[in-house]
Each structure stands twice: as structure tokens, then as C-alpha cells.
A and B are shown apart, each in its own frame.
Chain A
Amino acid sequence: MYRSFMMIIFILLPIYSWCATSTVATNLYPANLNGLKSQFQTAMKSFSDVASIHYSLAGIKELGVQPPDTYCNDIKKLVDKTNIESIYHATEAAKTLTNCNLPVEDYRSKISSTIQSDKSTTAEIYYAVRSSINLGLNIDESLIEKRLNTLAKTDDSILSQGYALLTGAQLSPAIAKYYADTINDLVQQADEIDGRILQYEGGISTTGLIFNAFYEVAEKAGTSIKIDPKQLLKFANYFSTKRHVATLRSAYYLTKAFKYISDNKNSMPIVVTRVSSSEVNAQNPSVLVSVTNLFGQPVGEMIVTAESAKRNEDGVVVISKQKLTSKSSDFTVYELPFYDKKISRGFYTIHLTLTPQTDGKFIGLTDHTIDVKVTSEVTLENVELNIVDRDNAAQIKTYKLTYPNGLSNNLEMDYHQKLIIKFQVKDKQTDEFIRVQQAFLRFTNKQSNKEIIYLAEATSGSNPQYKVEVDLTTNANDFRHQSDAYELVLLVGDALLQKAFSWKLTDNIQLSFHDDNVPDIDHLNIYSAKPEIIHQFREAEKRPPAIVSLVFSGLTLLPLLILLISWLKLGFNLSGLPLGLSPLGFHISHGAAFALMYFYWKYLDMFQTMRYLALVSIPLFLFGHRVLAILAARREKKV
């Protein structure tokens, strides 16, 4: 059984992952052209270097705005004649202007030295070649080709390959064709993310540059660009996600990438977006979609079909294989009438496919999804406000209310009573009672503006009825026992309601709580500074005054006196004290041991003391033994 389980997993997993990744969800958006344009225009206000001039002028020209010739002086001022990259940017920027001629002789030597040098990188070769072409200089194509081949062996980074392609695009079509054939290899080197996006390491400016290189070299070679449509879509997805880019270089290459992808000569991804509101109801019954390319331009007539419209909740299909009608003359806007009495409230996902009616290399024609929600109008029915006595359930005061009228008279309640509010929410269209996401009852204290909110709960089953109960004794803590006038509001809302309700039931309801005097906390003060904690060091324990200690120290020595006196009285004498070396040694070492104790107390630590003690105890024991032997012998003699 375990084995069959594992077999099922091994078969189902690949199928699942294939299903999950085979559809490249085309969530393409039209390019943020206005953002790019304003980015270039802001940069054009003041320039700090010649690269910025190049990117902003060339970028704005791609977007259809011709920059004025006044920038020619800025170019001439900022160019650095000793830097080949600076020369490249200057010549490119000058090309965008109608009349800007740069002094060719200033740059000739640098360009030729770059091309001749062994140490030039692929980027520098490209800059030199492109500058030569811009300035009208001759270039030695075979030399360049040789340089590129050498560099291809030493530098295989992706950016270097991109620059090689760009350089190839400047040379003869035969050379360009050679490089165009390597496009597929380069595409294989891209990183795929989530199965939806293809990019190169280095972010948007690298990916944009390489993508542009593909198109430029294919154009020069006279062939069409050979990229798998699925992969082209993934690149398009990547560019589409870049709504804002940080640098001018990225912005320039992004603009060029969008332009190439939106050119009818090449394969063009189609962008489908919803232009009507996401809410579908009786007032706006149709869903409008726009069909354009990434540049926001029309793509010719298309047949747009809604394959299916499924309700997210239960997958029920409400629309199947319905054609949308064109609403504009340039075939960019199509309409799908959606609202119908038979389509109930809910969230829906519409799947669209497109069939082009004109010639063109369109890609990304399937798997477009549009999310909409169908809302409805509701009414509040059977609204009742009951004031019930807590102890005596029979005593009820009932008020029936109709939206939008509140109660005309003032209400008064005290802690013997509880408030019960009941209501039902009815869908106008289907005449059924429904549940909503939000049903709240709100008390607002008229003096302090504090709000106390209760949740209304619905009964289960069909025909749900909402009920909320507030007991003035058990719920008194919510109000912090503040007896005051309150305002009562009923709030009903839902994502699928066309209109939500905020209904003031009564302007003045007087609540009296049992005086438990829970002080009302000022909510504004919760975030004020708390009292400062000052670190308390451990207090020293109380000590007795010095005199007491001294007196007692003296008292402790008193018994010594008593001892000496009693010893003398008993006849303590030193007559039997043996004299000689051994007794002397014994007494000295014994005394030394006690002196060591004193030193231990005052100065030494345990380890040193142990060492000294070991030292002292050797003579101590030696002499002690001898003295005791003498004494023992004396005793033996006596006996």
C-alpha cells in the first residue's frame, strides 16, 4: 500500500508541476511611458556627465520628442577626450540632435589606440567602433573581428557577449549574421524566475542591453529574430514588471526594448487589461477590456472571446465562449456584457483568448484573465430594537425601525436592563436573506467620543437573522461604567454589496451603570511617558555603630582574662617545660603556623597559604614529634 502511494505521488507530482508551469500567465501591462518620459525630461534639466545626456536625449527621441540643439554645447563641454566611453556617449548624443557636429580630429587618436590595444575590453571596442561610425571614420572590419574573437575567448561574461553582438551589428551583414546565429545560445543563458520571467544577471540595464543587441544584430543581418515565443513572452513579462527604474541607462534600454517588442516587424506580445471598474452591477453592466501592444498602440482587429467566466467560490461557469464586441474604431476596446439577473453576487474570473484578424506576428494570445466582482443592492428588513428587563424576561419594550429613519424619542436604560437588536439583510435581486462580512453595533459616548463596538451574529441555516445583545451589567466593563448619553449606530458592510450601511439608530440613549467606579482611562495617555525607573542599587545592610562592635570585641577578650586567672589559680606553671632545640623549634613553628593564619586573613589567598602551611608543618611535625617523645620518656621515667 505504501508503494502504490509512492507511485501515485511520483506520477501526480510531475503532472501537477507541468500543469502549474505550462501556462505562462500573461499578466502584461502597458509600459509606463509617461513615467519614462518624465524621467528623461527631469534629467534634461541639468546634466552632470555626458552619459546622462546620451541616455536622456536618445530616450526622449525614442518616445517621439525631438530634443533641441541647445544641448550641443553641453555635450562639447562635458566630453572627456581621453575616455573612449565618454567619446561614445558624446557621439551618440550628438546624433540625436539635428545639427550638432563634434570635432573629429580630437577623438581620432583615442579611437584608433583603443582598437589597436590588446587591453581593451569588449565594451571599449564597441564604444570605439560605434564612435567611428557616428563620426564618419573608416574602420578596419577584419581587425575588429579578430579583436572580438580574441576577447570572446578571454571574457565570456554575459555583458561582454552582449557588447560583441552590438559591435557585430555595426559591421557588415555577413559578420552580423554570424552573431545573429548566437542569439539562441545567449537566450539559453538567461535566468528563469518562477517560470514566468527571463532575465540576465545584472538587472534591468544588462537585460535591456542584451535584448536590444538581439534586435539590432538581427536587423543588420537582415534576418528575423529567432527566439521561441514562450521565451519572448517571459522577457516581455520581465520588462513589463519594471514600472520604475532607477538609472537613466536602465530607462533608455527599457524604452528601446519596449519599442522593439511593439514593432510589427517582430513578434509582438499582446496586452489585455480591464479598463472598466472591477465592480459589475445594474448601473455598469459591462466589462470593458483594452487590447494593445506593450507600447499601448493598437494591434488591429481581433476576435476576443471569453472562453469562460467562473465564480471563484464554487467554480460554476456562468459565461461560455462568448464573443466580445468592439467599441472603438481602432479596435483597442472591447465590451462583454456581464450583468444578468441569473448571475449572482460573487467574485468571477474571466478567461479570454484572442484571434487576430490581421497579419502579424502576435504572441501571447491565450491565457488572459480578468477579475471582476458582481455586487448587489440589499435592504435591511425587520429591524427591531428591544429593551428587556434582565430579571423579568416578560417586560419588553419593542421599537420597530425602518432604514433610514432613527428613533424619534430618547431612550433610557439602566443596569437592570439589556438591549437586543435584531435585523435581517435581504438581497433586492434574489429576495433572499443573506449573510454579510461586517455587521456591527457601535455605541459612541457623546462626551468622551469613546466607541464601544459589538458584533452582530447571524443564526445558521437559511434566512439568517442577525442579533446583538448588550447587557448593562455584564458588559458594564466595556463601557468602563461611564453613565452617559450615547449615540447608537448600526454598521453593515460587505465586499459584494453595492452600498454599505451606517445607520444612526438613535442620537441619544442614556445608559446608567451600577456605580462601580472603574475610573475611565484616558486613551490618549496610553502612549505618554511612563514613570522613570531609577536603578536601585542593593542597599547595604544595617550595621551597628562602631562603638557597639568595639565593646563586644573587648567583651570577647574578657573570657581570656578569666581563663588566665583560673589557670593560675589551678596552679598552671611552666616548670615542666622542656628546654632545648626541639622544644624551641616546636614552639617557633607552632607560632609560625598561627602567624600564617593571621597573614592568610589579611593578605594571602588559600593557595599561597596552603603552600606556606605545607612548608611550616614539616618542622612543626618534626619538632613536635621530638618534644612529645621527650615528654613521653619523662612520663615513663616517672612511672
Chain B
Amino acid sequence: MSQLGQVIGILRKLNDEYQISTPKKLKLIDAYLVYVLLTGIIQFIYCLLVGTFPFNSFLSGFISTVGCFILAASLRIQLNTTNRSTFNVTPERAFADFVFAHIILHLVVINFIG
């Protein structure tokens, strides 16, 4: 019981810390990440329920969510000012990369969706 309480306490502290210290841009991206994650989970549940037919469509949808998640996560990393030392890239450049990668990702996904 006390363990659970401890866990809850830690989580609440994490949440507060997050709300305060993350800039708005990053929070927007985090919300986007959650959205993509939820979409992926729902697709996966559907596949579990009704089977994998047509398998290519399921894969393309699922990989689309995964790809979007990864691209958004990498954009977030690049935009995070605390990581300025490791990456020497301007936010605009990061965004341009994000858009370019998305175009390719969507091309592949649409090709595969059948």
C-alpha cells in the first residue's frame, strides 16, 4: 500500500516537473506523440480482434504510426534547447528534415496500403 503511494507520489512529482520545465513547443509535440501512439494502439487492437487480413494494410497503417512517432520524437529532440550542444542544427532545418522525411514516409505507406 505504501509502495503504491510512493509510486503515485513519484509520478505526480514527475508530472509537475514536466509541466513547469518543458517549453510550449515541446508540449505540443508531446501531445502529437500521444495522439500517434493512441492511433497505433487502436489499430493494433483491431488487428488482434479481427485477424491480420489484409496484412499489408495493417502493416502499412501500423508502420505509418510508428514512423510518425519516430519522426516527431526526433524533431522534439532536435528542437530541445538543452540538446543544442549535441546537435548543431537550427530548428528550421529540423523542421525541414521533418517535412521531407514525412513525404517519403507517406509515399511508402500509401504504396504499401494496397
Contact = CB atoms under 8 A, between A and B. Distances in A.
Interface stretch (A91-99, A117-125, A387-395, A623-631): A623-631
Contact of A629 (B51, B92, B113): B92
Contacts, number: 80
Size class of the contact patch on chain A: 35 or more
Contact of B51 (A542, A624, A632): A542
Contact of B50 (A548, A609, A617, A620): A548
B42 interface: yes
Contact of A597 (B43, B50, B95, B110): B110
Interface in B53-112: 53, 90-93, 95-96, 99, 103, 106-107, 110-111
Given A628-B92, A628-B95, A628-B96, A563 B31 contact: yes
A533 interface: no
Interface residues of B, number: 30
Contacts of B103: 593, 613, 617
A556 B107 contact: no
Interface in A520-576: 541-544, 548-549, 552, 555-556, 558-560, 562-563, 566-567, 570-572
A567 B113 contact: no
A544 B92 contact: no
B46 interface: yes
| Interface SS majority for chain A | helix
B28 interface: yes
A139 B96 CA distance: 114
A572 B32 CA distance: 12
| Interface SS majority for chain B | helix
Contacts of A399: none
Interface string B16-51: 000000001001100110111011001100100111
B31 A566 contact: yes
Given A548-B50, A552-B46, A631-B92, 17 more contacts: A556-B42, A556-B46, A558-B42, A560-B35, A562-B35, A562-B38, A566-B31, A566-B35, A567-B31, A593-B103, A593-B106, A597-B106, A597-B110, A617-B103, A628-B92, A632-B91, A635-B91
B61 to A, nearest CB: 8
B110 A600 contact: yes
A629 B93 CA distance: 10
A601 interface: yes
A611 B109 CA distance: 17
Contacts of A560: 35, 39
Given A570-B31, A628-B92, A628-B95, A556 B39 contact: yes
